[in-house]
Amino acid sequence: MIKVAILGHGTVGSGVYEVFEMNAEKIALAAGEPVEVKYVLDLRDFSHLPYGNKFVNDFSVIENDPEIPVVCEVMGGVRAAYDFTRRCLLAGKSVCTSNKELVASKGEELLKIAEEHNVNYLFEASVGGGIPIIRPMIQCLAANEFNQICGILNGTTNYILTQMIKNGVSFEDALRQAQVNGYAEADPTADIEGHDACRKICILSNLAFGDKFDPDAVSCEGITRITLKDVECADRLGCVIKLIGRAVRCGDGTAYAFVAPHLVRKESPLAAVEDVFNAIMVEGNATGDVMFYGKGAGKLATASSVCADMLDCIEHREHRRRISWGDGSKKLLRPLEGFVSPWYVRFQGSRAALEAALPCESVREVGGELAASVSALSTGELKARLGKLEGSVLSAMRVL
Ligand code: HSE
């Protein structure tokens, strides 16, 4: 019997407990012996639960228990989560997490401590919820250089956009439902302003390019400025709107990384990704494009990834996984101004002025406004040209 501990009994933590209960037999087969959750750390009162006797509110009980080789940190945030993760690793315990904020901000340091103490720090659930993406990148695609990563990385915003586009639900109502479904972050600003997707594209970039991409330095735009008019214009141009995280490697080894809403052509497989589902396209220089699809958020989907990491730690106690990236000193992130892309521009003003300012491929009139598809321009060039244009630029998004 292997004993483990869960730090945090929120949406994901309670899901981890449920998966260990629900799939106990299958998990015992995978681990080679039964796995028992010995402790759940949470300050709140859960004494009414059938497993209420497992709750502790003193972290040192877990830290000092030699019977616990593997812990999952599903508390979220960086303060206590960082402290407890560090102390677990220093105590020779492997840690598995869904905490993308912590992995993106302190991952390199925690991975180093894990290496020094010959234990694992695994974070499959930190990107794409229930989708296997981290392990495929570090194992199955390990022989590739990564050229590009492009994906829908946030379940809450994809759910909101889908509800707005398909069912005409208001932004506020769709967000409320995403919270009820357990998709949103404790503070949903992180979802709707793109910070959550930004942390995820940084984690994938760290793995792909080997050095830290700092979420504070990566350009990040959310979905709060998207209107139903944009949705309608996108449709008229044969597209849907999606919040996309992208990382694109350049010939010299530097890379662009950013999060922004895009118009996605309806023929693209990403256009069909709806509701809480995420999809991530990874281009390796040997394998070509590979696409990963599944539920990007939610209790059991995310818990599935956390539990699988815990099983991996149990199975590989003697042979830790070699995962690391640098501290950011290689300065791989390129300024986004140079990134070239086709664009969509929504504009109120003279058609002749718009066509004179931008290389328009097509311009449609939609309810008294103009919606243009614009040929490839760098971000800096587009901004400069829009700055000189007389009239109102109502929105500008890249087209994928
Ligand atoms: N709030 C996140 C999302 C949870 O909606 O994708 C999963 O990381």
- Structure confidence at residue 319 (pLDDT): 78
Ligand 1, atom nearest to 128 Cα = 8
Ligand 1, atom nearest to 159 Cα = 5
Ligand 1, atom nearest to 197 Cα = 6
- Structure confidence at residue 318 (pLDDT): 78
Residue carrying structure tokens 């995420």: 278
- Structure confidence at residue 336 (pLDDT): 98
- Kindly give the distance from the C-alpha atom of residue 139 to the centroid of ligand 1, in angstroms, as a whole number: 24
- Structure confidence at residue 350 (pLDDT): 95
Ligand 1 cavity residues, CB under 6 Å = 129, 154-156, 183-185, 191, 196, 296-297
CB 130 within 8 A of CB 305: yes
Query: Whose CA is closest to atom 1 on ligand 1?
Result: 184
- Structure confidence at residue 66 (pLDDT): 97
- Kindly give the distance from the C-alpha atom of residue 196 to the centroid of ligand 1, in angstroms, as a whole number: 7
- Kindly give the distance from the C-alpha atom of residue 163 to the centroid of ligand 1, in angstroms, as a whole number: 16
pTM over the 0.95 mark: yes
CA distance 142 to 88: 28
- Structure confidence at residue 244 (pLDDT): 98
Among residues 255, 56, 13, the alpha carbon closest in space to that of 147 is found at 255
CB 294 within 8 A of CB 276: no
CA distance 236 to 238: 5
- Structure confidence at residue 145 (pLDDT): 97
Query: Whose CA is closest to atom 7 on ligand 1?
Result: 297
Residue to probe by mutation, ligand 1, list 97, 101, 153, 196, most atoms within 8 Å of CB:
196
- Structure confidence at residue 165 (pLDDT): 86
- Kindly give the distance from the C-alpha atom of residue 314 to the centroid of ligand 1, in angstroms, as a whole number: 26
Residues in the chain with pLDDT values less than 70 = none
Catalytic residues: 200
Ligand 1, atom nearest to 296 Cα = 6
C-alpha angle 299-300-306 in degrees, rounded to nearest 5: 95
- Kindly give the distance from the C-alpha atom of residue 373 to the centroid of ligand 1, in angstroms, as a whole number: 31
